[in-house]
Amino acid sequence: MRVTTLPLAVTAYTATSALGLGLGAHLDALEQQRSGLRANDFGDNPLACWIGRVAGLESAAFPDRYAQWDCRNNRLAWLGLNQDAFASKVEAAQRRYGPARLALLLGTSTASIGATEEGYRRLEDDVRLPADLHRTAIHTPHSLTAFVASALDIDGPCLTISTACSSSAKVFAGAERLIRLGMVDAAVVGGVDSLCDSVLYGFNALELVSPEPCRPFDAGRRGISIGEAAGFALLERIGPDTEHAPRVLGCGESSDAHHMSTPDPEGVGAELALRDVLERTGLDVAHIDYINLHGTASQKNDAMEAALVARRFPTSTRVSSTKGLTGHTLGAAGIVESVITLLAMRERFVPGNAGMATADPACSSHFAWRNEARPIRIALSHSFGFGGSNACLAFAHAVAGIDA
């Protein structure tokens, strides 16, 4: 049976990444096509690669009352929550709906595992985590969501989704289901992932880390550049108070059933997620003005995704990856790229595919290599994760204000 997804208003959104703190910094970097990547300076003996690091995170203020949660990932979460007045907009929504009527769904791939890594570097008697890190709150994959639930005072359902790089795209699907079923009236969705050795050395072991700044869809691309980011969005039903907000129309989901760490080269799973979102929203590919691609700069993802675009979309659909600017922020990629898509929609431009010098011949004329001024009414954001977990989000400009 075909299921129609409930379109929701995105009444607040924000992102913090290597591009800076909040929407203004992101818009500025997108307009200038200024990459936030820098030579890896994370840790004592950094791998020779490039990273998207949030500057000043170590020294950023973190309230004493949250001391049990203190770690790099939760600091990044706190910094992100405090941009663009996001936390106060959530507070206002809680006053409107009641505290138990708001859900919290956050994506992360590694949560605060960086703190566990640090503990193992400083073990007491080689068997015990050091006293300052002997805190159960941070050595669990739910650390992020439990902290944010506490910081935002959420009484409703709280869920961590950890499906690698699709995590913070899939949160939109879970939130929509809870709102459509009447279990809650609104939801905070988002994701946070921070730099840690597990992902730097883990992707290095898989030979997926580029020694130079990543070049999505370049013929000579050499792999990913890992970044860190926090992003959040507030989702509410569309009504008189929210009709001017942009909308999330739906989220398509699928599994590859192919391999743990490489995408299906035929893109069958990715295309199923795309088909799912089109069916749920009643959209046709001809309606899609822009796609923010997953575009990691890995050989296999970009080949699969370029073929999918060429196979399924008319050339009126413009596409680009923005990971050349932010790096691949893993579990936060879904929300960061959703925010970038919403910004592009608001500011009426297609962000260029940063980092490309020589286009992969597989790339069709859909690719926007540079910024293009044009209105975007409807856009997609692709997120394809490890373990074959795929998500495809559809966003729309609020009907009011569309003149295209």
Partner 1 sequence: MSSLRVQVEGIGAWSPTVADFDAFRRLLEDDAVAAPSARPPASALSPNERRRAPESVLVAIEVASQAVAMSGRAADTLACVFASAYGDQATTDYMCRVLASAPTELSPTRFHNSVHNAPAGYWTIATNCRAPSSAICAGHASFGAGLLEAAAQACADDRAALLVCSDTAGMGPLGELIGCRHPFGAALVLSPCKDAGVPGLLLAPVTDAPSHAPLPAVCATWMHDNPSAASLPLLAMLARGGGECVLAVSDRLGLHVEMEIVA
Contacts to partner 1 from residues 331-390, by CB under 8 A: 385-389
Active site residue 294: yes
Find how far residue 337's CA is from the centre of its chain. Answer: 5
134 lies in the site for partner 1, by CB under 8 A:
yes
Cβ count near 97 (within 10 Å): 16
Q: Nearer to partner 1 by C-beta: 18 or 171? A: 171
Considering the complex, what minimum distance in angstroms separates the CB of residue 43 from partner 1? 9
Applying CB under 8 A, the span of 14-22, 31-39, 78-86, 158-166 interacting with partner 1 comes to 158-166
> Residues 328, 366, 382, 397: which is the catalytic one?
328
Name which of residues 177 to 206 contact partner 1 (CB under 8 A). Answer: 177-178, 180-183, 197-198, 201-206
Q: Nearer to partner 1 by C-beta: 170 or 247? A: 170
Active site residue 328: yes
Active site residue 382: no
129 lies in the site for partner 1, by CB under 8 A:
yes
In whole angstroms, give the CA distance from residue 327 to residue 199.
13
Applying CB under 8 A, the span of 64-72, 145-153, 296-304, 350-358 interacting with partner 1 comes to 145-153
In whole angstroms, give the CA distance from residue 43 to residue 234.
34
Name which of residues 227 to 286 contact partner 1 (CB under 8 A). Answer: 253-261, 268-269, 272, 276
> Residues 294, 366, 382, 397: which is the catalytic one?
294
DSSP 166: G
Name the residue with tokens 């300076």: 41
Find how far residue 390's CA is from the centre of its chain. Answer: 13
Name the residue with tokens 């791939």: 109
> Residues 71, 158, 165, 251: which is the catalytic one?
165
Strands 349-350 and 378-385: unpaired
164 lies in the site for partner 1, by CB under 8 A:
yes
CB 344 within 8 A of CB 290: yes
CB 245 within 8 A of CB 11: yes
Q: What is the CA radius of gyration of the chain?
A: 20
116 lies in the site for partner 1, by CB under 8 A:
yes
Q: Where are the beta strands (DSSP E) in 126-246?
A: 158-161, 186-193, 226-227, 229-237
Q: Nearer to partner 1 by C-beta: 280 or 318? A: 280
In whole angstroms, give the CA distance from residue 394 to residue 92.
26
Considering the complex, what minimum distance in angstroms separates the CB of residue 357 from partner 1? 29
Selected binder of partner 1 within 24, 63, 88, 128 (CB under 8 A)? 128
Name which of residues 92 to 111 contact partner 1 (CB under 8 A). Answer: 100, 109
